[in-house]
């Protein structure tokens, strides 16, 4: 019995030692893993560059990279944070959440980093015309073309030219799309980029009917894209090839290419491709009179459609299912599908009209290109000349009016058309100007236009010899607010703050949004004392915004800087500089306060202009006495 007891105790000791060993090993492993995922700045830059490179070719690794960046979010610099936001927005886009992706992209489109700005605008344009928001697309084309001369990165320029070519291809302006695609410099193209550019050119050539859907060049590029792991682009081209094959009644070939890559497409996270795959399979089987399979895939495609889906793919799905139901003798089901088809058809017709309007705008709007500005000026001059000539003709025909009523009516029609054209051009000019001047989120003027208006306001105050004060308002911890409450809440805060500040100026010309979370107010006929009263009132009202937005008291504060013309001598540069110094002081003192600029914060008062020279005065008492 004692031997058994000793053996039992020995076993317990061994078990205890094994448990301690495994516990120690687990702690070491966890510590090592924790250290391994802590990144330095160089590691973060490499991770961001790698994520940008694989963002559309390796979705799983891309998600892992973003998760790792999120874990080290507190280590990101401002530029790295902007790159991280861009990557998050891109992820939302490939997952099909286009609206949220666009909203997130807008947060970095004014970045100081031109690479972030251009990538953000480029992706927004891609999503906007995918959503058929052509009114937004045209403005984004303007912004991209304005940024293009500042871009020194050849790859970035190629990306801009590519997305503009995609836009023109989307609205079926194929010749112009091909022109932009041909402008892309192929010197430094990677294999991935070659896949994308070739796909674009092939789609354009299909639209121009210069190649057939069974062209070997299409097959070769699909294989090439898969070979370089550009999966989404390869899938997209393959589905377009199948669509054209079905249109050309080559249903057997369409079925072959779709079934060969069916598994590949279904492993992709891009849900739209799943719906298109099933839709094209349904159409191919219908063309081959295999109704059961056609119905099965048609219903699978239908499962991906939402009530708001209004795409050409949805239209095709309902029409295919209606034909299948009709062939199978189910007239009631066929009528139901046709009813859904007709509802979508109205929207599709409207989209086609918008595309036609967008194509017309290519000739008549600026789009940020010098040649179109020159063309607009020439057209206006020609129209004016024609209008004068038409007036002269009316005078000539006035004597024979009773015998020439038809000619007179034609002249009136010409004058009416010319006048309408002038009004139309003027309207387009005004619309383009407004887009370039106004911040789309808050409705306030942007930094560039606000500065132009501020210069005019200061000039008037100088002429009238009246005082002038400037207030700058900056939200405390806005970045942390976005991280905690989300970007949507951040946008709501900016809109609410803009609405609050507008109540303190006599004209919208005197207020602007000059930064992501910074606003400036110009107060004519105000001294530093009266401006301080206004600033303190604003401070109290901002404190109440938390309740209005459903948040805890004290969660929203702002730092405010105030200055006037006494030390700046009506110089906008000095006014902005002085107010910024006061704002920095407010921030350094803990925020949530108003700080007034004074002479101790600058040495400008030591400089005076006397007679014809610039003299430097020391204000020490001994110099004054001497």
Question: Is 548 a domain residue?
Answer: yes
What's the distance, CA 260 to chain centroid? 36
How far are the Cα atoms of 475, 499, 530, 584, 589 from residue 593, in angstroms, in the given order? 11, 20, 16, 11, 8
pLDDT tens-place string over residues 434-460? 567 888 889 899 988 888 888 888 888
Question: Is 296 a domain residue?
Answer: yes
Q: Are residues 476 and 355 in the same domain?
A: no
DSSP of 151-171, one letter per residue? ---HHHHHHHHHHHHHHHHHT
d(Cα 77, Cα 477) in Å, to the nearest integer? 15
β-strand 607-610 against 558-564: which pairing, if any?
Answer: unpaired
**Angle, CA 186 vertex, CA 182 and CA 187 arms, to 5°:** 145
Q: Are residues 589 and 456 in the same domain?
A: yes
Task: Show the beta-strand stretches assigned E in 227-336.
Answer: none
Question: Is 520 a domain residue?
Answer: yes
The single residue listed with the structure tokens 């206004």 is 534
Instruction: Identify the residue with better confidence: 193 or 421.
Output: 193
End-to-end CA distance of the chain: 113
d(Cα 589, Cα 79) in Å, to the nearest integer? 26
Pair of tokens at residue 415: 């004058």
pLDDT tens-place string over residues 90-116? 888 878 788 888 888 888 888 888 888
Q: Are residues 383 and 526 in the same domain?
A: no
Domain of residue 599, CATH code: 3.30.70.270
275 has pLDDT over 50: yes
Q: Are residues 472 and 599 in the same domain?
A: yes
Taking the complete model, does pTM exceed 0.75, yes or no? no
Q: Are residues 343 and 407 in the same domain?
A: no
Among 364, 396, 415, which residue terminates a domain? 364
Question: Is 455 a domain residue?
Answer: yes
Domain of residue 344, CATH code: 1.25.40.10
Cite the DSSP H helix spans in 438-517: 447-464, 478-485, 487-502
Task: Identify the CA nearest to 134 among candidates 344, 345, 350.
Answer: 350
Lowest mean pLDDT among 197-211, 343-357, 380-394, 402-416: 380-394
Q: Are residues 596 and 536 in the same domain?
A: yes
Average pLDDT of the residues of the chain? 78
pLDDT at 558: 94
Per the DSSP assignment, residues forming a β-bridge with 523 are 469
How far are the Cα atoms of 27, 163, 166, 203, 270 from residue 196, in angstroms, in the given order? 47, 11, 11, 11, 17
β-strand 518-524 against 511-515: which pairing, if any?
Answer: antiparallel
Average pLDDT over residues 237-261: 90
Task: Identify the CA nearest to 394 among candidates 406, 382, 412, 381.
Answer: 412
Average pLDDT over residues 517-535: 92
Among 364, 385, 411, which residue terminates a domain? 364
583 has pLDDT over 70: yes
Question: Is 152 a domain residue?
Answer: no
Average pLDDT over residues 375-396: 51
Question: Is 499 a domain residue?
Answer: yes
Sheet with 594-596: list strands edge to edge: 511-515, 518-524, 468-475, 558-564, 594-596
Q: Are residues 495 and 563 in the same domain?
A: yes
pLDDT at 125: 86
Q: Are residues 414 and 558 in the same domain?
A: no
What's the distance, CA 233 to chain centroid? 21
Question: Is 410 a domain residue?
Answer: yes
532 has pLDDT over 90: yes
d(Cα 505, Cα 473) in Å, to the nearest integer? 14
Q: Are residues 324 and 351 in the same domain?
A: yes
User: 3-class DSSP state for residue 609?
Assistant: strand
Q: How many domains does the chain have?
A: 4
Q: Are residues 478 and 605 in the same domain?
A: yes
Domain span holding position 350: 270-364
Pair of tokens at residue 116: 């972030």
Q: Are residues 351 and 406 in the same domain?
A: no
Pair of tokens at residue 54: 């694989």
Torsions phi, psi for 436 (to 5 deg):
-80, -10
Pair of tokens at residue 565: 């013309």
DSSP of 505-571, one letter per residue? SSSGGGEEEEETTEEEEEEET--HHHHHHHHHHHHHHHHTHHHHTT--TTS--EEEEEEEHHHHTT-
Among 383, 398, 432, which residue terminates a domain? 432
Question: How does residue 433 score in pLDDT terms, banded at 50, 70 and 90?
Answer: low
Contact of 354 with 134, CB cutoff 8 Å: yes
Question: Is 243 a domain residue?
Answer: no
Contact of 129 with 102, CB cutoff 8 Å: no
Per the DSSP assignment, residues forming a β-bridge with 191 are none
Q: Are residues 492 and 452 in the same domain?
A: yes
Question: How does residue 65 score in pLDDT terms, banded at 50, 70 and 90?
Answer: confident
pLDDT tens-place string over residues 486-499? 888 888 999 999 99
If you ran DSSP here, which 8-state letter would residue 420 be given?
H
Angle between helices 405-437 and 370-397 (to 10 degrees): 150
Torsions phi, psi for 42 (to 5 deg):
-65, -40
Instruction: Identify the residue with better confidence: 339 or 502.
Output: 502
């Amino acid at each position: 019995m004692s031997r058994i007891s000793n053996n039992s105790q020995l076993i317990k000791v061994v078990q205890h030692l094994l448990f301690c060993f495994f516990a120690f090993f687990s702690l070491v492993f966890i510590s090592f893993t924790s250290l391994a995922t802590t990144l330095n700045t160089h590691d973060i830059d490499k991770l961001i560059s790698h994520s940008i490179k694989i963002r559309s070719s390796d979705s799983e690794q891309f998600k892992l990279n973003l998760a790792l960046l999120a874990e080290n979010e507190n280590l990101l610099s401002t530029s790295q944070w902007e790159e991280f936001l861009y990557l998050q927005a891109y992820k939302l886009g490939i997952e099909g959440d286009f609206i949220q992706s666009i909203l997130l992209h807008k947060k970095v489109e004014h970045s100081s980093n031109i690479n972030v700005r251009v990538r953000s605008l480029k992706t927004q344009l891609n999503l906007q015309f995918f959503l058929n928001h052509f009114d937004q697309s045209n403005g984004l084309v303007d912004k991209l073309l304005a940024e293009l001369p500042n871009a020194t990165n050849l790859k970035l320029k190629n990306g801009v030219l590519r997305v503009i070519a995609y836009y023109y291809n989307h609205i079926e302006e194929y010749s112009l799309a091909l022109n932009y695609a041909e402008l892309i410099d192929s010197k430094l193209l990677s294999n991935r980029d070659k896949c994308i550019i070739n796909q674009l050119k092939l789609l354009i050539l299909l639209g121009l009917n210069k190649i057939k859907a069974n062209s070997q060049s299409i097959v070769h590029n699909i294989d090439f894209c898969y070979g370089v792991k550009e999966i989404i682009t390869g899938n997209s081209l393959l589905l377009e090839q199948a669509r054209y094959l079905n249109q050309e009644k080559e249903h057997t070939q369409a079925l072959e290419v779709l079934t060969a890559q069916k598994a590949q497409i279904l492993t992709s996270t891009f849900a739209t491709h799943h719906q298109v795959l099933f839709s094209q399979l349904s159409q191919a089987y219908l063309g081959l009179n295999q109704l059961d399979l056609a119905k099965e895939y048609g219903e699978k495609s239908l499962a991906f459609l939402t009530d708001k889906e209004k795409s050409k793919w949805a239209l095709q799905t309902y029409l295919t299912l209606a034909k299948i139901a009709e062939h199978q003798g189910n007239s009631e089901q066929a009528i139901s599908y046709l009813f859904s088809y007709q509802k979508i058809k109205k929207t599709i017709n409207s989209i086609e009209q918008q595309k036609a309007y967008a194509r017309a705008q290519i000739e008549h709007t600026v789009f940020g290109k010098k040649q179109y500005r020159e063309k607009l000026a020439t057209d206006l001059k020609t129209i004016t000349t024609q209008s004068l000539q038409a007036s002269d003709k009316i005078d000539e025909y006035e004597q024979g009016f009773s015998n020439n009523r038809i000619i007179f009516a034609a002249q009136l029609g010409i004058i009416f058309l010319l006048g309408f054209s002038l009004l139309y051009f003027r309207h387009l000019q005004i619309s383009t100007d407004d887009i370039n001047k106004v911040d789309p989120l808050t409705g306030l003027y942007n930094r560039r236009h606000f500065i132009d208006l501020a210069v005019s306001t200061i000039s008037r105050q100088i002429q009238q010899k009246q005082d002038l004060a400037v207030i700058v308002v900056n939200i405390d911890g806005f970045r942390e607010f976005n991280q905690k409450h989300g970007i949507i809440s951040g946008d709501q805060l900016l809109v609410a703050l803009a609405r609050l500040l507008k109540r303190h100026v006599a004209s919208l010309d005197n207020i602007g949004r000059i930064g992501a979370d910074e606003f400036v107010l110009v107060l004519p006929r105000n001294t530093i004392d009266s401006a301080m009263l206004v600033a303190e009132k604003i401070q109290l009202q901002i404190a109440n915004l938390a309740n209005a937005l459903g948040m805890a008291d004290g969660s929203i504060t702002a730092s405010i800087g105030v200055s006037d013309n006494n030390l700046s001598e009506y110089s906008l540069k000095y006014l902005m500089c002085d107010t910024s110094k006061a704002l920095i002081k407010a921030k350094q003192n803990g925020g949530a306060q108003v700080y007034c600029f004074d002479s101790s914060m600058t040495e400008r008062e030591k400089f005076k202009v006397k007679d014809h020279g610039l003299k430097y005065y020391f204000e020490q008492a001994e110099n004054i006495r001497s």
